[in-house]
Amino acid sequence: MKIAVLSRNKNLYSTRRLVEAAEKRGHECVVMDHLKCYVGMSQGKPSIHYNGVDVSDIDAIIPRIGASVTFYGTAIVRQFEMMNVFSANESQAISRSRDKLRSMQILSREGLGMPITGFARNLKDTGDLIKMVGGTPVVIKLLEGTQGIGVVLAETKKAAESVIEAFHGLSTNILIQEFIKESKGTDIRAFVVDGKVVGAMKRTAKDGEFRSNLHRGGTASLISLTKEEEATAIKAAKALGLTVCGVDMLPSDRGPLIMEVNSSPGLEGIEMATQKDIAGRIIRYLEKRANQKGNKTKDKIGV
Protein backbone atom coordinates (compact mmCIF):
# COMPACT_ATOMS: atom_id res chain seq x y z
CA MET A 1 0.00 0.00 0.00
CA LYS A 2 0.91 3.63 -0.33
CA ILE A 3 0.06 5.35 2.94
CA ALA A 4 0.04 9.08 3.62
CA VAL A 5 0.43 10.44 7.14
CA LEU A 6 -1.26 13.84 7.27
CA SER A 7 1.03 15.75 9.62
CA ARG A 8 2.48 19.25 9.70
CA ASN A 9 5.82 18.08 11.09
CA LYS A 10 7.58 14.96 9.82
CA ASN A 11 9.99 15.06 12.78
CA LEU A 12 7.34 14.59 15.47
CA TYR A 13 7.65 11.30 17.36
CA SER A 14 4.17 10.08 16.39
CA THR A 15 4.71 10.88 12.71
CA ARG A 16 8.14 9.24 12.61
CA ARG A 17 6.88 6.10 14.33
CA LEU A 18 3.97 5.68 11.91
CA VAL A 19 6.32 6.01 8.94
CA GLU A 20 8.77 3.52 10.49
CA ALA A 21 5.99 1.03 11.25
CA ALA A 22 4.55 1.28 7.73
CA GLU A 23 7.92 0.85 6.03
CA LYS A 24 8.83 -2.04 8.33
CA ARG A 25 5.74 -3.86 7.05
CA GLY A 26 6.70 -3.24 3.43
CA HIS A 27 4.51 -0.23 2.62
CA GLU A 28 5.43 3.03 0.96
CA CYS A 29 4.74 5.87 3.36
CA VAL A 30 4.81 9.62 2.76
CA VAL A 31 4.23 12.56 5.08
CA MET A 32 1.98 15.32 3.74
CA ASP A 33 1.30 18.65 5.42
CA HIS A 34 -2.49 18.86 5.16
CA LEU A 35 -2.35 22.67 5.09
CA LYS A 36 -0.34 22.41 1.86
CA CYS A 37 -2.88 20.09 0.25
CA TYR A 38 -5.54 21.64 -1.95
CA VAL A 39 -8.60 20.19 -3.60
CA GLY A 40 -10.16 20.22 -7.02
CA MET A 41 -13.78 19.36 -7.75
CA SER A 42 -15.43 18.68 -11.08
CA GLN A 43 -18.22 16.38 -12.14
CA GLY A 44 -17.36 12.92 -10.82
CA LYS A 45 -13.66 13.80 -10.44
CA PRO A 46 -12.61 14.91 -6.95
CA SER A 47 -8.85 15.40 -6.68
CA ILE A 48 -6.12 16.51 -4.31
CA HIS A 49 -2.86 18.21 -5.24
CA TYR A 50 0.21 18.57 -3.05
CA ASN A 51 3.15 20.77 -4.04
CA GLY A 52 1.72 20.99 -7.54
CA VAL A 53 1.36 17.22 -7.98
CA ASP A 54 -1.83 15.17 -8.20
CA VAL A 55 -1.83 12.64 -5.34
CA SER A 56 -4.50 10.27 -6.57
CA ASP A 57 -2.28 7.22 -5.96
CA ILE A 58 -2.77 7.10 -2.17
CA ASP A 59 -4.39 3.93 -0.77
CA ALA A 60 -4.87 4.99 2.86
CA ILE A 61 -4.32 8.00 5.09
CA ILE A 62 -3.60 8.47 8.79
CA PRO A 63 -4.86 11.92 9.83
CA ARG A 64 -2.82 13.76 12.47
CA ILE A 65 -4.89 16.93 12.42
CA GLY A 66 -4.07 19.67 14.93
CA ALA A 67 -6.98 21.20 16.84
CA SER A 68 -6.25 24.70 15.53
CA VAL A 69 -6.72 23.60 11.90
CA THR A 70 -9.59 21.16 12.35
CA PHE A 71 -11.81 22.77 9.71
CA TYR A 72 -9.25 22.72 6.89
CA GLY A 73 -7.72 19.41 7.99
CA THR A 74 -11.03 17.56 8.04
CA ALA A 75 -11.90 19.08 4.64
CA ILE A 76 -8.78 17.43 3.23
CA VAL A 77 -9.60 14.13 4.92
CA ARG A 78 -13.13 14.34 3.51
CA GLN A 79 -11.75 14.94 0.01
CA PHE A 80 -9.63 11.80 0.27
CA GLU A 81 -12.78 9.94 1.36
CA MET A 82 -14.57 11.24 -1.75
CA MET A 83 -11.74 9.66 -3.75
CA ASN A 84 -12.39 6.30 -1.99
CA VAL A 85 -9.17 6.52 0.01
CA PHE A 86 -9.47 4.77 3.37
CA SER A 87 -8.86 6.96 6.42
CA ALA A 88 -7.82 5.62 9.83
CA ASN A 89 -10.41 8.04 11.26
CA GLU A 90 -13.32 9.43 9.27
CA SER A 91 -13.55 13.19 8.82
CA GLN A 92 -16.95 13.38 10.50
CA ALA A 93 -15.71 11.46 13.54
CA ILE A 94 -12.72 13.81 13.89
CA SER A 95 -15.01 16.85 13.74
CA ARG A 96 -17.39 15.26 16.24
CA SER A 97 -14.63 14.56 18.75
CA ARG A 98 -13.08 18.03 18.40
CA ASP A 99 -16.32 19.71 19.42
CA LYS A 100 -16.11 19.22 23.20
CA LEU A 101 -19.74 20.15 23.77
CA ARG A 102 -21.06 17.90 21.02
CA SER A 103 -18.91 14.97 22.11
CA MET A 104 -20.05 15.32 25.74
CA GLN A 105 -23.68 15.44 24.59
CA ILE A 106 -23.17 12.22 22.63
CA LEU A 107 -21.41 10.46 25.51
CA SER A 108 -24.16 11.56 27.89
CA ARG A 109 -26.84 10.19 25.55
CA GLU A 110 -25.01 6.86 25.38
CA GLY A 111 -25.09 6.59 29.18
CA LEU A 112 -21.32 6.77 29.65
CA GLY A 113 -19.81 8.03 32.89
CA MET A 114 -18.62 11.63 32.77
CA PRO A 115 -18.14 14.57 35.14
CA ILE A 116 -21.37 16.55 35.55
CA THR A 117 -21.08 19.23 32.87
CA GLY A 118 -22.83 22.54 32.30
CA PHE A 119 -22.97 24.94 29.37
CA ALA A 120 -24.63 28.37 29.20
CA ARG A 121 -24.35 31.62 27.30
CA ASN A 122 -25.93 34.15 29.65
CA LEU A 123 -23.89 35.37 32.60
CA LYS A 124 -27.01 35.59 34.78
CA ASP A 125 -27.19 31.77 34.67
CA THR A 126 -23.72 31.34 36.18
CA GLY A 127 -24.90 30.80 39.75
CA ASP A 128 -27.37 28.08 38.81
CA LEU A 129 -24.83 26.51 36.45
CA ILE A 130 -22.29 26.17 39.28
CA LYS A 131 -25.01 24.69 41.48
CA MET A 132 -25.97 22.28 38.66
CA VAL A 133 -22.49 20.71 38.59
CA GLY A 134 -22.37 20.30 42.38
CA GLY A 135 -20.88 23.60 43.51
CA THR A 136 -17.28 24.67 43.87
CA PRO A 137 -14.57 23.78 43.26
CA VAL A 138 -15.35 23.58 39.54
CA VAL A 139 -13.28 23.08 36.41
CA ILE A 140 -13.78 25.66 33.65
CA LYS A 141 -12.71 24.66 30.14
CA LEU A 142 -12.40 26.51 26.87
CA LEU A 143 -14.20 24.54 24.16
CA GLU A 144 -11.25 25.14 21.83
CA GLY A 145 -8.52 24.27 24.35
CA THR A 146 -6.08 21.37 23.93
CA GLN A 147 -3.30 19.72 25.97
CA GLY A 148 -4.62 21.29 29.16
CA ILE A 149 -4.50 24.85 27.79
CA GLY A 150 -7.58 26.86 28.72
CA VAL A 151 -8.48 24.66 31.71
CA VAL A 152 -8.90 26.44 35.04
CA LEU A 153 -9.73 25.13 38.51
CA ALA A 154 -11.86 27.63 40.45
CA GLU A 155 -11.85 26.90 44.19
CA THR A 156 -14.66 29.29 45.19
CA LYS A 157 -17.89 30.59 43.70
CA LYS A 158 -16.46 34.09 43.49
CA ALA A 159 -13.37 32.85 41.65
CA ALA A 160 -15.53 30.80 39.28
CA GLU A 161 -17.74 33.79 38.51
CA SER A 162 -14.68 35.95 37.84
CA VAL A 163 -13.13 33.42 35.44
CA ILE A 164 -16.42 32.85 33.63
CA GLU A 165 -16.95 36.60 33.28
CA ALA A 166 -13.42 37.02 31.92
CA PHE A 167 -13.89 34.27 29.33
CA HIS A 168 -17.28 35.69 28.42
CA GLY A 169 -15.67 39.08 27.83
CA LEU A 170 -13.37 37.44 25.28
CA SER A 171 -16.40 35.96 23.46
CA THR A 172 -15.20 32.40 24.03
CA ASN A 173 -17.36 29.35 24.69
CA ILE A 174 -16.72 27.38 27.87
CA LEU A 175 -17.84 24.27 29.71
CA ILE A 176 -18.14 24.00 33.47
CA GLN A 177 -17.51 20.60 35.06
CA GLU A 178 -17.54 19.13 38.52
CA PHE A 179 -14.13 18.65 40.10
CA ILE A 180 -13.39 14.99 40.81
CA LYS A 181 -11.27 15.36 43.92
CA GLU A 182 -10.73 11.63 44.47
CA SER A 183 -8.80 11.38 41.18
CA LYS A 184 -5.99 13.23 43.01
CA GLY A 185 -4.34 14.65 39.91
CA THR A 186 -4.31 11.39 37.97
CA ASP A 187 -6.14 10.20 34.90
CA ILE A 188 -6.10 7.21 32.59
CA ARG A 189 -5.55 7.15 28.85
CA ALA A 190 -6.76 4.06 27.01
CA PHE A 191 -5.51 3.80 23.42
CA VAL A 192 -8.15 2.22 21.19
CA VAL A 193 -7.51 0.76 17.73
CA ASP A 194 -10.26 -0.97 15.77
CA GLY A 195 -12.55 -1.45 18.75
CA LYS A 196 -9.88 -2.84 21.09
CA VAL A 197 -7.76 -1.28 23.81
CA VAL A 198 -4.17 -1.85 22.66
CA GLY A 199 -2.46 0.00 25.51
CA ALA A 200 -3.20 2.05 28.61
CA MET A 201 -1.28 4.37 30.91
CA LYS A 202 -1.86 6.36 34.07
CA ARG A 203 -0.88 10.03 33.90
CA THR A 204 0.04 11.85 37.10
CA ALA A 205 0.19 15.62 37.45
CA LYS A 206 3.32 17.30 38.77
CA ASP A 207 3.24 18.77 42.27
CA GLY A 208 0.89 21.73 42.60
CA GLU A 209 -0.87 20.98 39.30
CA PHE A 210 -4.29 19.34 38.83
CA ARG A 211 -3.88 18.79 35.07
CA SER A 212 -2.12 15.52 34.30
CA ASN A 213 -1.35 16.20 30.62
CA LEU A 214 2.17 15.15 29.66
CA HIS A 215 2.57 18.53 27.91
CA ARG A 216 2.00 20.16 31.32
CA GLY A 217 4.78 18.18 32.99
CA GLY A 218 2.79 15.10 33.97
CA THR A 219 4.34 11.65 34.07
CA ALA A 220 3.11 8.40 32.54
CA SER A 221 3.22 4.84 33.88
CA LEU A 222 1.86 1.47 32.82
CA ILE A 223 -1.57 0.51 34.15
CA SER A 224 -3.87 -2.50 33.83
CA LEU A 225 -7.43 -1.41 33.16
CA THR A 226 -10.40 -2.81 35.01
CA LYS A 227 -13.09 -4.46 32.90
CA GLU A 228 -15.29 -1.40 33.44
CA GLU A 229 -12.55 1.00 32.30
CA GLU A 230 -11.83 -1.06 29.20
CA ALA A 231 -15.52 -1.35 28.29
CA THR A 232 -16.01 2.39 28.83
CA ALA A 233 -13.11 3.28 26.51
CA ILE A 234 -14.35 0.98 23.75
CA LYS A 235 -17.93 2.25 24.02
CA ALA A 236 -16.79 5.89 23.96
CA ALA A 237 -14.71 5.37 20.80
CA LYS A 238 -17.64 3.63 19.12
CA ALA A 239 -20.11 6.36 20.17
CA LEU A 240 -17.98 9.01 18.44
CA GLY A 241 -17.19 6.83 15.43
CA LEU A 242 -13.43 6.81 16.04
CA THR A 243 -11.35 3.73 15.22
CA VAL A 244 -8.01 5.16 16.38
CA CYS A 245 -8.20 7.33 19.48
CA GLY A 246 -7.12 8.00 23.03
CA VAL A 247 -9.88 7.92 25.64
CA ASP A 248 -9.05 9.99 28.73
CA MET A 249 -10.82 8.97 31.93
CA LEU A 250 -10.78 10.05 35.56
CA PRO A 251 -10.94 7.40 38.27
CA SER A 252 -13.80 8.21 40.63
CA ASP A 253 -15.92 6.72 43.40
CA ARG A 254 -18.67 6.04 40.84
CA GLY A 255 -16.44 4.46 38.21
CA PRO A 256 -14.44 5.81 35.26
CA LEU A 257 -15.52 9.25 34.05
CA ILE A 258 -14.66 10.32 30.51
CA MET A 259 -12.96 13.69 30.12
CA GLU A 260 -12.19 13.61 26.41
CA VAL A 261 -11.78 11.35 23.39
CA ASN A 262 -8.73 12.41 21.36
CA SER A 263 -8.75 11.66 17.62
CA SER A 264 -5.00 12.38 17.20
CA PRO A 265 -3.46 10.92 20.36
CA GLY A 266 0.30 11.11 20.73
CA LEU A 267 2.24 7.86 20.52
CA GLU A 268 5.32 8.72 22.56
CA GLY A 269 3.81 8.57 26.04
CA ILE A 270 1.80 5.40 25.44
CA GLU A 271 4.63 3.54 23.70
CA MET A 272 7.16 4.51 26.39
CA ALA A 273 4.79 3.51 29.22
CA THR A 274 3.62 0.23 27.71
CA GLN A 275 6.68 -0.74 25.62
CA LYS A 276 4.21 -1.76 22.91
CA ASP A 277 4.35 -1.10 19.17
CA ILE A 278 1.18 0.98 18.99
CA ALA A 279 2.19 2.45 15.62
CA GLY A 280 2.42 -1.07 14.23
CA ARG A 281 -1.09 -1.86 15.47
CA ILE A 282 -2.42 1.14 13.55
CA ILE A 283 -0.68 0.00 10.35
CA ARG A 284 -2.04 -3.55 10.77
CA TYR A 285 -5.51 -2.06 11.10
CA LEU A 286 -5.05 -0.26 7.76
CA GLU A 287 -3.92 -3.55 6.18
CA LYS A 288 -7.01 -5.32 7.49
CA ARG A 289 -9.34 -2.70 6.06
CA ALA A 290 -7.48 -2.68 2.74
CA ASN A 291 -7.91 -6.45 2.48
CA GLN A 292 -11.61 -6.15 3.28
CA LYS A 293 -11.99 -3.51 0.58
CA GLY A 294 -10.18 -5.75 -1.90
CA ASN A 295 -12.41 -8.72 -1.10
CA LYS A 296 -15.55 -6.60 -1.59
CA THR A 297 -14.27 -5.52 -5.01
CA LYS A 298 -13.66 -9.15 -5.99
CA ASP A 299 -17.20 -10.07 -4.88
CA LYS A 300 -18.66 -7.30 -7.06
CA ILE A 301 -16.85 -8.47 -10.22
CA GLY A 302 -17.42 -12.16 -9.49
CA VAL A 303 -13.79 -13.19 -8.90
pLDDT bracket for residue 217 (50, 70, 90): low
Residue range 205-210: mean pLDDT, rounded: 64
What is the gyration radius of the CA atoms in the chain, in angstroms? 21
Residue-wise pLDDT tens digits, 159-202: 998 988 888 888 888 889 999 988 888 899 999 999 999 999 99
**Strand partners of residue 188:** 202, 249
Worst-scoring range by mean pLDDT, 48-57, 217-226, 235-244, 271-280?
217-226
CATH architecture of 2-96: 3-Layer(aba) Sandwich (3.40)
pLDDT bracket for residue 151 (50, 70, 90): confident
- Residue 218 CB contacts under 8 Å (≥ 6 apart), including other chains: 203, 204, 205, 206, 209, 211, 212
What DSSP string describes 52-66?
A: TEE-TT--EEEE---
What pLDDT score does 215 carry?
Answer: 54
Which option is the CATH number for 116-179: 3.40.50.620, 3.30.1490.20, 3.30.1300.10, 3.90.1150.10? 3.30.1490.20
SS3 assignment, position 19: helix
Given the DSSP bridges, would you call strands 86-87 and 60-63 parallel, antiparallel or unpaired? Answer: parallel
CA dihedral angle for residue 70, residue 75, residue 80, residue 84, rounded to 10 degrees: 110
**For residue 298, pLDDT beyond 50:** no
What DSSP string describes 228-239?
A: HHHHHHHHHHHH
HSE (side-chain half, CA atoms, 13 Å) at 253 = 4
Q: Which of 82, 108, 86 is nearest to 240 (CA)?
A: 108
What pLDDT score does 198 carry?
Answer: 97
CATH architecture of 182-282: 2-Layer Sandwich (3.30)
| Distances in whole angstroms, Cα of residue 58 to Cα of each of 27, 41, 68, 199 | 11, 17, 25, 29
To the nearest whole percent, how much of the chain has pLDDT over 70?
A: 90
CATH 3.30.1490.20 boundaries in the chain: 116-179
Element (H, E) at 49: strand 47-50
CATH 3.40.50.20 boundaries in the chain: 2-96
